[in-house]
Structure 1
Amino acid sequence: MHSLNRRERPFLIDEVLDDFARFDFPLKDIWLSAARFHYHNLAPEISALPSGARALEIGCGAGILLTLLGQQSPNIYMEGIEPFAEGFETMEGVLQHAQGLGARIHRSAYEDYDPSKAYDLVYLVNVLEHLPDWRHFLDTLPRFLTPQGRCLVLCPNYGFPYEPHFNIPVVGSKATTGRMFRRRIDWVENTYEVHGLWNSLNFVQLSQIKRHLAGSQLKLRVRHEITDRMIDRFNTDPVFQKHIGVFNKVGRAAKALGLTQVFRLGPCENLQPYMFLEFSRVSE
């Protein structure tokens, strides 16, 4: 196994990502770009856990982010689950490489996964918006968590009228948007070999999550800092800047004018483009 965890953190990130970049797989630049960004969002959360704590990534894909975080915090027991649906064959080499670097990855959907012990931290990155039933996931989430455990979710918020996978505006419902932008949707799925991506999206909204949690076993904290972090990413991540296109100018202008602070105010937080959510158990 590589001794990457003994290096300084910036070199660890670069070395691991360069290692994965040797493989050829669809949307490689976007996957690696996202792994780098979300490493910086999650590394402080992982490193703050006590030694010996347990963490789980739900929907870990081929394990790129899981490998980064595991190398950064070798004192934390980390594992991931991923159902590896049809079409994942192009990622097998990446998966095997991640496992060779020590990533513990189970081939399972969350519905079928029975952990041997509960986790101190569970996290999902760009996964919640693809779940067939996100409400069911939230209802069953407590079984994964220790009494003081937390779950961190990062994903788009469809309360903001923009679909980031296809880089299109949302016009009313998903059905209406799909009809209006069918050519764009088909082009993206065919060009990047991501067939079925549009159908997998559930268009989850923050306001819906809040309503669903009323009277549940979970409480929610909205981490507003993610909006400015996403906009700052335009300045440091050319892959992200190219993917988002014109929206990077809109985002920069909004931050410069202080408009992103509006997303911290009452009902306006339901309109933030991207969500960083922290779930924990309601105290008994």
Structure 2
Amino acid sequence: MDSKSIFDFAFSVNVMEHVNDVGNVLERVGTSLKLGAKYRFTCPNYYFPYEPHFNIPTLFSKKLTEKFFNRRIFESSDVLDPVGVWDSLNWINVTQIKKFQKRTEGFEVQFNRSFLVSIIERIGTDREFALRRSPLMRGFLLWIVKLHLHKIAVLIPVITQPVIDCAITRISIEEVS
């Protein structure tokens, strides 16, 4: 994307975990925004020890996770192209996004701490979404929603939440470094 300062809004859903260079993509999308415009994206947060495409726990690194869960990953019948999907995952996390903000002037980064609450609530209202979770996880999440305990998820620091909901606002038009 080589366009500069032309878009009022940009968004992506479950895309950022598949890009080769998170910082470069954030910079390129950011410079395509007009002053005051936003880029909002959601994606998994790989600081949380769970890989949602394959419904597996993560074990400290992509390499170790692959070694331990090799068959569940590469022989998955739930993922259309398990090899391609696994190879494309960059294990994005909140710290990578914060590093972008520190090294790149002209952008404000905000994380939505309440996104996790809405994700948990979705288990009870979206059957297809719910069926992507294990029966045990579905039951547990439905139970905490019934008790309204899911609302305390807003207190969990964004760095440790399983999902990222981020808005990047262009606050100046100076050239990025």
TM-score when normalising by structure 1: 0.54
1:259–1:253 CA distance, 2 compared to 1 (3 A): farther
Instruction: Tell me by how many angstroms 1:254 deviates.
Output: 5.2
Aligned counterpart for 2:65 among listed residues 177, 180, 188: 177
Query: Would the aligned equivalents of 1:254 and 1:260 in 2 still touch at CA under 8 Å?
Result: no
1:252–1:159 CA distance, 2 compared to 1 (3 A): farther
- The aligned counterpart of 1:227 is 116
Unaligned runs of 5+ in 1: 1-112
* SS at structure 2 position matched to 1:196: helix
Query: Would the aligned equivalents of 1:155 and 1:274 in 2 still touch at CA under 8 Å?
Result: yes
* SS at structure 2 position matched to 1:244: coil
1:128–1:192 CA distance, 2 compared to 1 (3 A): closer
Instruction: Tell me by how many angstroms 1:226 deviates.
Output: 1.3
- The aligned counterpart of 2:80 is 193
Q: Does 2:140 correspond to 1:247?
A: no
> Counterparts of 1:204 and 1:226 in 2: how far apart (Å)?
17
Instruction: Tell me by how many angstroms 1:225 deviates.
Output: 2.3
- The aligned counterpart of 1:147 is 35
Q: Does 2:169 correspond to 1:280?
A: yes
More RCO (CA 8 Å, sep 6+): 2
* SS at structure 1 position matched to 2:99: helix
Q: How big is the alpha-carbon RMSD for the aligned residues of Structure 1 and Structure 2?
A: 2.1
Query: Would the aligned equivalents of 1:234 and 1:241 in 2 still touch at CA under 8 Å?
Result: yes
Query: Would the aligned equivalents of 1:231 and 1:248 in 2 still touch at CA under 8 Å?
Result: no
Structure 1 residue identity aligned to 2:153: T
* SS at structure 1 position matched to 2:164: strand
Instruction: Tell me by how many angstroms 1:223 deviates.
Output: 1.4
* SS at structure 2 position matched to 1:277: strand
* SS at structure 2 position matched to 1:219: strand
Aligned counterpart for 2:154 among listed residues 252, 261, 266: 261
> Counterparts of 1:173 and 1:199 in 2: how far apart (Å)?
13
> Counterparts of 1:178 and 1:220 in 2: how far apart (Å)?
32
Instruction: Tell me by how many angstroms 1:262 deviates.
Output: 2.2
1:223–1:261 CA distance, 2 compared to 1 (3 A): closer
1:241–1:283 CA distance, 2 compared to 1 (3 A): same
Instruction: Tell me by how many angstroms 1:115 deviates.
Output: 4.0
Instruction: Tell me by how many angstroms 1:192 deviates.
Output: 4.0
Instruction: Tell me by how many angstroms 1:151 deviates.
Output: 0.2
Query: Would the aligned equivalents of 1:123 and 1:152 in 2 still touch at CA under 8 Å?
Result: yes
Query: Would the aligned equivalents of 1:220 and 1:279 in 2 still touch at CA under 8 Å?
Result: yes
- The aligned counterpart of 1:208 is 96
1:253–1:158 CA distance, 2 compared to 1 (3 A): farther
TM-score when normalising by structure 2: 0.84
Aligned residues between the structures:
167
Say which structure is richer in helix.
1
Instruction: Tell me by how many angstroms 1:153 deviates.
Output: 0.6
Structure 2 residue identity aligned to 1:213: Q
- The aligned counterpart of 2:17 is 129
Unaligned runs of 5+ in 2: none
For the pair shown, the structure with the greater C-alpha radius of gyration is: 1
Query: Would the aligned equivalents of 2:2 and 2:28 in 1 still touch at CA under 8 Å?
Result: no
